Amino acid sequence: MRNLFMKVTYDGTNYDGFQTQPGGNTVQDKLEQAIAHLTGEVLKITASGRTDAGVHAYGQPFNFETASRIPLERWCLALNARLPEDIVVTEAHEVPLSFHSRRAAKRKTYRYTINGNRFPDPFQRRFQFHHPVALDVKAMEKGLVPLVGTYDFTSFASRKSTKTSHVRTIYKAYMEIDRSMCRPDSSDQGVIHTYITGSGFLQHMVRIIMGTLIQVGEGKRGPETIADILAACDRAAAGPTAVAKGLALWDVSYRDSQE
C-alpha cells in the first residue's frame, strides 16, 4: 500500500462543503468518485479539515492509501480529467503510511475577501462579499488585535459546534487592500483581504469573526468591544455569520513554526 498526499483547489459555490454529506454533493465525494473511476478502488480520503457549503480552498491537503502503482507524476492529470472543472488537484506526493492530513496539520490560514468598491466585480462575484458602503478598515484592523493569542472562542463558534473544547490559538491576523480595480476619482475602497492563521478553527469561526468585524467597520460596534465579546464566551455577544462565498482556505502548514 502507498499513502498519497495531494492538494486540491476548488470553487465551492456549487458544493455542500468539503466533507461527505448524505446528499452526495461535496468535494470529497467528487474526489473519491474520480479515484474510484481511475483505480477501481472504493476508499475514503482524509482531509486537513472541512469547509462549509459555498466556501473555497486553495491547495487543501488530503491523503489516502492505495494499492495502485500509477506513477506520481500522472495522478494530477488523471484525476483532473475525471473531476468537474471547478475542482483541480495540483500536487501529489508519497508520504509515510502513518501520515494523517488532519492530525499532522500545525497551522491553517483562511482568507476572507470583501469587495469595498461601489459596484460588484462580475468576474469575482463568487469569491467576494460586496459591501458598497465605506468601511472603517483601521477600526477593523484594531478589532483583529485582541483575537491574537490562545482563548476560548465560544463567542465566535456556531451554536451547533460539537467540539468538547473551544480553546484555539490565533497566531496572526491582518488585512491587505488591493486597489488595482478602483475607478479613478471614485469612492471605491478596493478589495479588502483579511488573513487569519491559527492552530485550528471552530465551525463558522472565521465567518463570525468577519461578520462582527464588518459591524465594526460600519460603526455599529467599536473595535474595543471585540475583547469583551471574546471574554463573554457567548455566541449571542458576537455579530452575524458573514456570507460563505467570501471565505477561502488559503494555506495549511505542516511545519512546527512559520514566519
Would you say residue 160 lies in a domain? yes
- Domain hosting 196: range is 107-253
Q: What integer best gives the mean pLDDT of the chain? A: 96
Distance between CA atoms of residues 133 and 119, nearest Å: 10
User: Are 90 and 160 found together in one domain?
Assistant: no
DSSP, collapsed to helix, strand or coil, labels residue 248 as: strand
Query: In sequence order, which residues have a C-beta less than 8 Å from that of residue 13 and are 6 or more positions away?
Result: 54, 56, 86, 126, 245
Residue 244: CB atoms within 10 Å: 18
Count of domains observed in the chain: 2
Which amino acids are annotated catalytic?
52
Same domain, 180 and 61: no
pLDDT attached to residue 259: 47
- Are residues 243 and 116 part of one domain? yes
The response to whether 151 counts as a known ligand-binding position is: no
Q: 149 and 222 share a domain? A: yes
Q: Are residues 145 and 248 in the same domain?
A: yes
Positions of the chain with pLDDT under 50? 259
- Helices 27-39 and 72-80, axial angle in degrees (round to 10): 120
pTM of this structure: 0.95
Say what the pLDDT of residue 257 is.
58
Residue 23: the pLDDT is: 78
Q: Does residue 145 share a domain with residue 44?
A: no
Determine the Cα–Cα distance for residues 3 and 93; give it in Å rounded to an integer: 9
